[in-house]
Each structure stands twice: as C-alpha cells, then as structure tokens.
Amino acid sequence: MSELSDRPVGAVVGVPESHESAAGHVTGTALYTDDIAERRHDVLSAWPVQSPHAHARIVSIDTGDALAVPGVVRVLTPDDIPGVNDAGVKHDEPLMPREAMYYGHAVCWVLGESVEAARLGAAAVHVEYEVLPSIITVAEAIEAGSFQGVQRTSRRGDAEKALAEAAHVFEGVIETGAQEHFYLETHASLAYYDEGGQLYVQASTQHPTETQEIVAHVLGLASNEVTVQCIRMGGGFGGKETQPHGLAAIAALGTTLTGRPVRLRLNRNQDLTITGKRPGFRTVWKAGFDDDGRIVALKTTLTADGGWCLDLMEAVVSRALCHLDNAYWIPNVEALGRIAKTNKTSHTAFRGFGGPQGVLLIETIFGEAAPVLGIEPSELRRRNFYRPGQTTPYGQVVRDAERMPDIWNQVLDGSDYAARSAEIAAFNATHPDVKRALAITPIKFGISFNVAAFNQAGALVLIYKDGSVLINHGGTEMGQGLHTKMLQVAATALGVPRSSVRLAPTRTDKVPNTSATSASTGADLNGAAVKDACEQLRNRLAVVAGGLLGVNPRDVRFENGVVTGLGAGDRSLTFGEVVTAAYWQRVQLSAAGYYRTEGLHWDPETWQGSPFKYFAYGAAATEVEVDGFTGAYRTRRVDIVHEAGDSLSPLIDIGQIEGAYVQGAGWLTLEDMRWDASDGPNRGRLLTQAASTYKLPSFSEMPEVFNVALYDKGHEPGAVYGSKAVGEPPLMLALSVREALRQAIASFGAPGTSVRLSSPSTPETVFWAIQAARGAADVSREASADGAAVPSEASADRAATSREEASVETPAVPAGADILVD
C-alpha cells in the first residue's frame, strides 16, 4: 500500500463534484427504505401502542378488540419474542417492556393490512397500567440520586489550589436543552424472508452491523441468517446510530411470525416521542484567571440527561469531558462527568456527540469573564490558545497547534473584524433599541472513536471484464456525501475516470463487522479501506500491463483510464484492455480492503492516552442584530475558515460546514424542547411534538452573508489522501452566534456588563436578558447619581433558567440571564 496521504497525478479526489445522488434527490427518483416497501403489494404495516404515563408497570395487555378490527393481522407482545427481549447496546433496553419507562414508550405493536388498519387496531388495544413515581428533570434526578452508567473524572494539576490562588474567580450553572434530530426521513424498516429462509432487513440505519446483531439476538438467530441493507438515509445526524435497531427487530419479528413482509415507518409525531435526542446537560462550573487573562483552573461537574437507559450516553459524556478545553490550555482541571436517569426517551448520539456541550462550557466561561476582566473577547480567547508541545488534560499532545492562530488570523482578516467592530460600536452608540455585535470562536475537535476497536473498516472492490468498477464499503450514506467521496477515492486509486465507478448499497453480506458511520470517521476509515482494495487490484494489473508494454510493473502508470509505462515510448493501453488481458491470464479482479487506525491508545480508568488520530481546527466570526423591544434577532454575516485537510471533495465539504453551522445555531438559539414537568396527568409528555411547536432553522434564519473557506495548509499525513473529517467539528462554530448575542445584549447595559445567557437563547430568553441588562444599567446610573459606589455585581436572577422542561399548569416567565456589572 502506498503512503496513505499521497495523491497521484490526475487525482479525482480534490475535484469539486456534486453529490452522487443529487439528481435523484431533486427529482424524487432516489429510493429510501419506505419507497421500497411501497413497491410491494403483500406488505403488512406496524403501528405502536404507546404508554400514556412517564413511568408505569404494565399489568395486562388485552388484544381481543384489536384483533377484531378489520385488517388487523396480529398484535406483537413481549411473549412473542423467541430470542432475547432486548434492543439496546447495554442490555438495559427491552424491545417491548414490562414496565413503561417514559411517556410514549411503545409497549406492543399492531400489524395490519394497511397503516390505517394498524392504527385503528392499536387504538383498540387495552393496556392496564399501575402508575409509578417518575423523574423528569435533571434537577429531580440529582436530588433523588438517580444516575446510571460509570462516572468519569478528567484531572490535571490541582484545580482546588489554583482556584484558591487565582486573581479572578467566576462560577455559574449552565443548563443546555435537548435537540431533536428532525431528519427528513423518519425511522423506517422493511423485513422479509427469501425462499431459502434468509432474513432481509432494509433499514434506515447508520450502523447496519449492529442492526443485524440486534435483530439476530431478538429472533434467536445467528448473524449469518440476517442480512441488513441501507440504500441511503434521508438524514441521520447520530439519531440512526442505535435507535433503528429495535424498530428493525419489530419488523423482523413481525415477518417471522406472519410469514409476510412487514414495514415499520414512524410518522413524525411517533419519531419525536419514541426516539432519543441530543441530551440536555446541567453543568456547574468554577474557573480562575490570572491578571493577564489566562485561565489557570477549571472545576466542573457535567450531568447529562441520559433518559431511561444508557444507550450511548457513557461515550457522549466521555466526548464532552475530552472537549471541555476546546482550543485552550488549562493547566489545572478537575471535571466530573455523570449521567442522570430520567423517565424520558433514551438520549443518544447527535452530531458532535457530547463535544458541543463540553465546548459550550469553556466558551461560556470566556464570554462571561471577558467584560469583567476588561479584555476584548477575541483577545481573551487568543491569549489562551494551545501552543505547540502542550497536551490536553487527558495527556494527548495537541499536534498542529500552530494552525489555530493561523486560522484565527485568517478569519479576523477575511471578516474585516477590526473595522466592522468599530462600525458596530458607532451603530450601537446611536441606536438605543437595536444593537449589533460581532463575535469569533474557535474549534479544536478530536477525530476517532474513543473506543479503539471501532476504528476499523472494510471494503470490497470488483472490476468487471469491460473495465467498469463496482465498490462496496461499510459506511452508510445519509446525505453527507460519503458515497461521493468513496467514488472519487476509488477512481483516484485505480487511475480511472469517475464515470467508470459505481457504488453498491451498504450490505452486511458484502462487508461484515462494520463500525457505525459516525464520529466523523466515515471517510477516514472507509476511504482508506477502499484505497487498500483498489491498490491491491492496481498492483495486480500493473504486472499484466508491464508484460504487455515491456516495462517493469513498478514503471506502469494508470491515469484517467489510460495505462502507460516509463520507457514504453508512445505505447499505451486502455484500462479495459488491461483488465481483459488480466482475465485471460486468470488474475483475480476483486479485492477486499481493510484499514485500522494506528497510533490510538486510551485508558478510561486513568483518563489518559491519545484517543484521537488528529484534531480538526476552525474558527467562525458571526455578526448579529438584536431588537430590544422583542428580543428577535437576525444573523447578518458569518465568516468561517475550517480545516478539511486536502479535501477529498470540496463542494461536499463546504456543504457540510454550512449545514453543521446552521444546525448548531438551531441548537443554541431556536430548538427549545419542552416536557411536561407538572404533577398533572400528562407528566413526562413531550410538549414540542411537531414543527408547529418545535422551531427549526429555516431560510429566514440563514445568514445574509455566508462566507466559508477551506484552510489551505491542513494536509493530514495520517488520513486518506491527506484529508480531514468535516462532519461534526463545524457545528460548534455556531457558538459564535451565541457569543455575539451575549455581546449584543450587554450593549443594552452599562459598560462592563457580563451576560449569563440561557441555552437555547430563544428570542424570549434574549428579551428577558435585555431587560435584566437595562435594569442593571439603571441601578448603576442611580448609584452614580447618588454618589454611591457602584456594586461590582448586580444579579437579575442568580438561578439559571432551565429550558429543558415546562409546566403546563404554571408557565413561568424566564429570567433569561444573570448580569454582572464591573
């Protein structure tokens, strides 16, 4: 295998290519799981019976009336499961529970000749419940001592001692809300048997192998008796990493018991109420700075809302602990991560996987501290950047640390930061009821799975006698452009045009034992495996071509479908001619590729090691305008410079950066998930069950000016063709929106005002924060007029407002922010 990052002459990677399914997406011809089900005429539909209680023991299930509904074929209950009643990766997630653990928990499923028949049948099932006490909020879980999983601590130096000696100490509580994935395609599965007894499952899943394993153990089958295929997904964002498994198992159980194909597609309301979210966090923190504005210590406890079972929450919290430093050197750290157990859906992976909650912590600290320290926020952040040779709190050397200030300066220059900041100050001075602000934030994000064993991938590449190529790999396509990149990698490695290569859907009977397409590793892992397979084939073909051209195989060159040889003069062959000759010489024209990420080591007990192959760097500057009367705001301009290494596919990568930023802005400013935390009959019910009550970013929230540039000095020697992952890191660049809002709100108050801002920072939250800032300014002016000393700290409300739940009986007016006045 050649050097992993080397690019040949005439490489297809690096060429701007449209998404391989773009035409199918816009014309409606691209098939998704339920489209395949629609093409069958013998398929049954599944519909859930959902619990109306947040926590209840299931006393009995009476299916008699349901079976009498015309079109109802069968009701699936726990007693029907031939294998293990478990759909989780931690063996704590019954496929069909004996005890409902959250409002909306699916306790049984009805199969019908049509969706409507199944729906009516589900409405006719009688379930008797014994209601049990429930825990809905993280605060309730902490008070009750309701935790799950292993608690972890990241520690370096002596945080307690450093805080005691620090010149400036700040502390606070941050409560971040949950976020719904809201992929365009809801969860869907189709299951059926062939004539030989092989079970096929078509699923919208990011992890076909794990779906295969869960289906197999639910049915008591071996994995080789189950084939899972994912043709493509209409979005995933982490929400289809573990959550599809149980749904696929229901479809598989249904087809096993009825002998009929079974489809299961959740409608939007069901998807919202059954499946997990990005977890909310409650983070208590205390940080110390010296007189030069350098952070000297951080002590914090991060409590994640895990929901009713563990799912991937241990890994999510681990990722948060590994990213609470972001791009900054913190000499003394003590950080505890733990998982609350609540009666909600099992919270799960979401783009960034805990990283956003960790990064939000440190950016909040800098945002709150800057005005009190009297240091411009961008300068305070710059002073604290990692320097070459420094290590993270968990002991990994921060390689390429010099790139962060270089990217930072590119954003400052490209955004005309200094001049625009002066213009904004002049604007704010003459506009008492409308304020603007410009903020810049960085990102340093580690790439690899924290579990070393997951960092491996396989591929199968086939060359046909006419020279056409078909590739199979273990990654799944959810709109992120992975398949496009794999086509470009294969074409580059074989030296053929992109048009000569096609890609087969991801299937467990072609590439086994795959890892999830997540953690931004899809292109790194699968691209290296595809490259390995293609280079095996190219080396075999070089021997054949060398004989035909009369040159040493090492002197054979493949480029754009033409095969030449050093010293062969003007003689050349087409790729197809070489392949045909190879066939007649009985040379194997298929190859299995494999890749494992080298250099990773991690000890979760000591919380030390090098869990990441590399770090991806970026920075964003965002300008906002805030209306003081309503709290409404708009994003005027965004400037981003982000690393993609030597990009495999620049158009795809820029699209990923734009989409990640907007999704991050939604999490931080708009997407306000609420559960009923009252003691009424609907306790635990998700209140934001549709797009009518759960606000997503739309065209109206897009920046008026959106500039994205790829950093051009980011070659990564340890990744395929020198590229870097780009799926998750840019999401955290949206923290620049939140920091710009913080600064704009502060402009409504007295100079030196520091704003403690809730998350998400909805217009309502911003309005109340503005009111608090103005109130603090009034206090300051009155004190000055009376000749009294201005207090160093004036609080609008010392208790941070939780945005994770709401009481429908006693709706509260949020305080929105704490105000500190220096």
Q: How far apart are the first and last CA of the chain?
A: 61
Enter the tokens of residue 40.
Answer: 């069958």
Q: How many residues does the chain have?
A: 822
Sole residue written with tokens 């982490």: 238
Distances (CA, A) of 356 to 250, 361, 445, 642, 701: 33, 9, 10, 16, 20
Residues in Cβ contact with 668 at an 8 Å cutoff, skipping those fewer than 6 apart: 360, 734, 735, 737, 738, 759, 760, 761
Which residue among the candidates 728, 739, 804, 805 is catalytic per the annotation? 728
Q: How far apart are CA 242 and CA 155, in angstroms?
A: 30
Of residues 111, 105, 39, the one with CA closest to residue 75: 111
Distances (CA, A) of 775 to 170, 479, 751, 817: 22, 47, 13, 12
Quickly list H helices, 599-755. Answer: 650-669, 735-746
Helical packing angle, 735-746 and 650-669, nearest 10°? 40
* Cα Rg, the chain, nearest whole Å: 28
Q: How far apart are CA 400 and CA 444, in angstroms?
A: 10
Q: How far apart are CA 247 and CA 239, in angstroms?
A: 13
Q: How far apart are CA 252 and CA 262, in angstroms?
A: 7
Answer positive or negative: Cα dihedral of 773, 778, 779, 780: positive
Q: Residue 40: how many CB atoms within 10 A of its CB?
A: 13
CA atoms within 13 A on the CB side of 224: 0
Q: How far apart are CA 692 and CA 714, in angstroms?
A: 42
Q: Which residues partner with 440 through β-bridges?
A: 621
DSSP-based three-state secondary structure for 462: strand
Q: How far apart are CA 441 and CA 657, in angstroms?
A: 15
Of residues 387, 384, 389, 448, the one with CA closest to residue 610: 448
22 with 477: CB under 8 angstroms? no
Three-state helix/strand/coil letters over 353-401: CCHHHHHHHHHHHHHHHHHHHCCCHHHHHHHCECCCCCECCCCCECCCC
Q: How far apart are CA 603 and CA 613, in angstroms?
A: 15
Sole residue written with tokens 């035909």: 548
| Strands of the sheet with 106-112, listed across from one edge | 72-76, 106-112, 44-50, 262-265, 188-193, 199-203, 226-230, 506-507
Q: Which residues partner with 640 through β-bridges?
A: 620, 708
Answer positive or negative: Cα dihedral of 753, 758, 762, 767: negative
495 burial via Cβ count (<10 Å: 0-12, 13-18, 19+): buried
636 with 436: CB under 8 angstroms? yes
Peptide bond into 760 cis (omega under 30): yes
Backbone angles phi, psi at 559, to 5 degrees: -150, 120
Catalytic residue at 728?
yes
Residues with a catalytic annotation lie at: 728
